[in-house]
Chain A
């Protein structure tokens, strides 16, 4: 856990450095007329202090002892769900809502335990069409038409 928290804090510190560098490009103004960069600079300093203090606390053993990382099959399930969600983002502008929802539904169902193909097909069709009906038809959300017009 100590190593994990320390790594996270190190990454946060790196990003914080970039954040502060960007904040310094904006006008800081004065105390009586603070500019656009004034408040972000203060926030950046706070992030740096908090990250260092959290890392120090972790090194002193002041955090919970164990991180419950998943086993191999758990990691694969998590990665599959992430990939399914990202596929929705990639496919939505190209294929439209109805078709983009298919892998975003089928993959999580499959990796989380739905084995029979007819159950998988039926549930995927139900979720994809149900979400389309709720959002596109009832709520009239304007989804991209995609190359198939759906």
Chain B
């Protein structure tokens, strides 16, 4: 199937009433989640995962994907109006966006952010359409050693790149790997770490664990505070139009942000956040005459485009290789796994309705988001006036009931609370839970592929470096592990040399 044929088929799937409804619902929820500081797209996807069990897999993925890229639109609203990022990928937008708002150009900033997000989202989907099938075909030549090395690269890169220090990242990652070993050994069928409990033979539930790490932890974190949000600026419809000069400056930044975002999205790590930093720095280098820090429109256009394009880029490895490189795509993978669908190189061939349906729905979703976010920006901002007590209580109840509904198991509720307390503690000491989430998803892949590789090689570890692709991936993993330390040594050496020359 050529990409155009696939896209045509995808539209036949995406334009059915249930799937249009799923895309629109996901877009609305994603915008809401992006506007509301705290819960984030991963938490929202985890909360809604139990509900998607009632849907066909393509509908479930359409809705969750719409939440993911929809939250990128919503996050810019509070960044610009309140100087409070709605979610992590909108932190950079607070720098220039809020300054534009202070100068009375909030509407222009919001319009540029929304249009940039739309353009980037649409072009990003084109990239997804072209890259993912090609990567799938290439990945058909992967064997278990390659999947082991790829999973290891993803885990190591996320631990290195996500916020926080290296060793705490490895610690949370290894805890996730340990939790993933609970249940029946997939190769021998031996029950491990079940302590005689039949309920544990299925393992620790991924959905309740993630709901706890993000949802319950957020509720507890906010419950301990007694603050509120600052006053909300109002934006009138006629203020939404940037000037011609602002568009002339924003347009190239949108294109650059799209390219940066898509390619950053392909690499492991919190790609939506990283892409905004890369884009912002690029705009600063290229636009030396612009007033960065005092309201440069390029500083909104580039990063907001980048984070949207990054969502499409991040979906390429998840859909084509079955390897998620971020917690958000791990949730998308989880949604398919609980439905009995395994993403990977064969997904495009065996489940074209899922792959092409999601791709086509992203065009629909991005168009809907542009309409939702521009004229209705006042409505989204007013959501912030809902008392925190009501919002958080709703989140708490939804989390509890949702976790139970996955498998009708009280064990899942205990998992939820345990993960919630762990997530709250992690926040207190600055440990990032993202490596733990990825380890929960990739742990079984890592173990299976490792053990099967050893079976194949009769116990020789050289199998991982004798195969070129596996060796390359392991080399990249070592580079990711060692590069920061090497740079640090180099910088220290350079400082010593300069000090000696003086």
* Chain A residues within CB distance 8 Å of chain B: 1, 4-5, 8-9, 12, 19, 22-23, 26-27, 30-40, 43-44, 46-47, 50-51, 53-54, 57, 62-64, 67-70, 73-75, 77-78, 80-82, 84-86, 88-89, 92-93, 97, 101, 104-105, 108-109, 111-114, 123, 127-128, 131, 135, 139-143
Contacts and interface: CB of A to CB of B under 8 A. Distances in A.
A45 B39 CA distance: 34
A53 B188 CA distance: 33
B404 to A, nearest CB: 7
Contacts of B394: 127
The 5 A-B residue pairs with the shortest CB-CB distance in the complex, in nearest-first order: A32-B459, A31-B459, A112-B389, A74-B224, A70-B224
Given A39-B447, A88-B413, A92-B404, A123 B224 contact: no
Nearest to A111: B223
Interface string B135-160: 00000000000000000000000000
A131 B404 CA distance: 12
Contacts of B165: 54, 57, 62-63
Given A5-B429, A74-B226, A36 B190 contact: yes
Given A47-B178, A50-B171, A92-B410, A85 B454 contact: no
Given A50-B167, A135-B405, A141-B405, A38 B451 contact: yes
Interface string B407-424: 010100110010011001
A73 B181 contact: no
A139 B51 contact: yes
B88 interface: no
Contacts of A53: 167, 170
B198 interface: no
Nearest to A80: B223
21 contacts: A23-B192, A32-B455, A40-B178, A40-B181, A40-B192, A50-B167, A50-B171, A54-B168, A54-B171, A57-B165, A78-B424, A88-B400, A101-B401, A104-B396, A108-B392, A108-B393, A109-B390, A109-B393, A113-B389, A127-B393, A131-B398
A1 B392 CA distance: 28
Query: What range describes how many residues of B lie at the interface?
Result: 35 or more
B226 to A, nearest CB: 7
Contact of A32 (B178, B225, B421, B454): B454
Given A1-B429, A50-B170, 7 more contacts: A32-B455, A34-B450, A39-B451, A47-B175, A53-B167, A123-B393, A143-B404
Among B388, B389, B458, the most chain A Cβ lie within 10 Å of the Cβ of B389
Contacts of A39: 181, 447, 450-451
Contacts of A35: 188
B455 to A, nearest CB: 7
A74 B400 CA distance: 22
Given A36-B190, A44-B178, A67 B429 contact: yes
Contacts of A86: 417
Nearest to B172: A50
Contacts of B451: 34, 38-39
Contacts of A50: 167, 170-171, 173-174
Given A22-B193, A113-B389, A135-B405, A101 B397 contact: yes
A109 B395 CA distance: 12
A43 B172 CA distance: 12
B219 interface: yes
A114 B219 CA distance: 16
B428 interface: yes
Contacts of A4: 428-429
Given A50-B167, A92-B410, A131 B401 contact: yes
B387 interface: yes
Contacts of A43: 174, 177-178, 181
A13 B390 CA distance: 40
